[in-house]
């Protein structure tokens, strides 16, 4: 089970890197429509993300900045709740402010996640001991599989938004 999940993770990570490579801050802050989830600078200079009250299509497409924030949000939460003290909340996760900082942040999260996965055994993955967010009372392997799916989904969304941005300039 461990080897399969790690191979899936490596594939998801390669796709994510493909779409993060060359990403610009301009692309991140571009809004594909007049409505949609985005990030906003606060008076303290920190970038905060919108939070949807619902997940209907009519809220509009998310900006790349929001998509990268969301990726960093859930990965930070999983790391903290599975391997840390479990106190991190959405309000404590800020968008870093630039594409270069996004790549550094997401790269750090990937490194931390991989370092935490490497020593795990199949027995660890069958255990529910670390399963606290976003799932409960399930084998930790289900959380690892969820991360793989969520990472792939976010990478695809970022890639699609980059395609839209590229043709919007014509």
The CATH number given to whatever domain includes residue 77 is 1.20.120
Number of domains making up the chain: 1
pLDDT at 56: 94
- Say which residue the tokens 């970022």 belong to: 158
> In terms of residues, how long is the chain?
170
Q: Is the peptide bond before 134 cis (omega within 30 degrees of 0)?
A: yes
Report pLDDT for 70.
Answer: 98
Number of helical (H) and strand (E) elements in the chain, helices listed first = 6, 2
Question: Is the residue at 54 inside a domain?
Answer: no
Task: Report if residue 101 sits inside a domain.
Answer: yes
Banded model confidence at residue 170, pLDDT cuts 50, 70, 90:
confident
Q: Is the pLDDT of residue 88 over 80?
A: yes
- Nearest Cα to 106, choosing from 20, 12, 22, 26? 20
Q: Give the model's pLDDT for residue 59.
A: 96
CA–CA separation, 113 vs 118, rounded Å?
A: 9
Residue whose tokens read 């690892």: 144
CB 62 within 8 A of CB 70: yes
Which helix (H) or strand (E) covers residue 49, if one does?
strand 47-49
Amino acid 155: pLDDT: 98
Tell me the pLDDT of the chain averaged across its residues. Answer: 97
Whether 125 maps to a domain, the answer reads: yes
* Statement: residue 39 has pLDDT above 80: yes
110: three-class secondary structure by DSSP: helix
Q: What percent of the chain has pLDDT over 70?
A: 100
Inform me whether the pLDDT recorded for 161 exceeds 90.
yes
Q: What is the pLDDT of residues 108-134, one digit of tens each?
A: 999 999 999 999 999 999 999 999 999
Of residues 78, 86, 62, the one with CA closest to residue 164 = 62
The whole-number pLDDT of residue 159 equals 98
Query: Hey, is 41 helix, strand or coil?
Result: strand
In a domain, 21, yes or no: yes
Half-sphere exposure of 92 (CA within 13 A, CB side): 9
Q: What is the pLDDT of residue 14?
A: 98
Mean pLDDT, residues 63-86: 98
Residue 22: inside a domain = yes
Query: Domain of 105?
Result: 2-46+68-168
Q: Is residue 63 part of a domain?
A: no
Does residue 136 belong to any structural domain of this protein? yes
Residue 88 inside a domain? The answer is yes
Q: What is the pLDDT of residue 169?
A: 78
């Amino acid at each position: 089970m461990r080897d399969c999940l790690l191979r899936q993770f490596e594939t998801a990570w390669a796709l994510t890197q493909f779409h993060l490579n060359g990403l610009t801050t301009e692309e991140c802050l571009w809004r594909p429509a007049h409505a949609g989830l985005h990030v906003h600078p606060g008076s303290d200079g920190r970038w905060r993300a919108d939070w949807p009250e619902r997940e209907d299509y009519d809220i509009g497409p998310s900006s790349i900045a929001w998509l990268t924030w969301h990726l960093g949000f859930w990965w930070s939460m999983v790391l903290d709740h599975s391997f840390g003290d479990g106190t991190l909340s959405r309000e404590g996760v800020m968008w870093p402010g630039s594409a270069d900082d996004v790549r550094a942040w997401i790269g750090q999260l990937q490194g931390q996640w991989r370092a935490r996965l490497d020593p795990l055994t199949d027995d660890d993955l069958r255990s529910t001991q670390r399963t606290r967010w976003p799932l409960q009372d399930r084998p930790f392997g289900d959380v690892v599989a969820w991360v793989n799916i969520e990472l792939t989904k976010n990478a695809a969304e970022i890639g699609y938004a980059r395609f839209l941005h590229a043709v919007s300039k014509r």
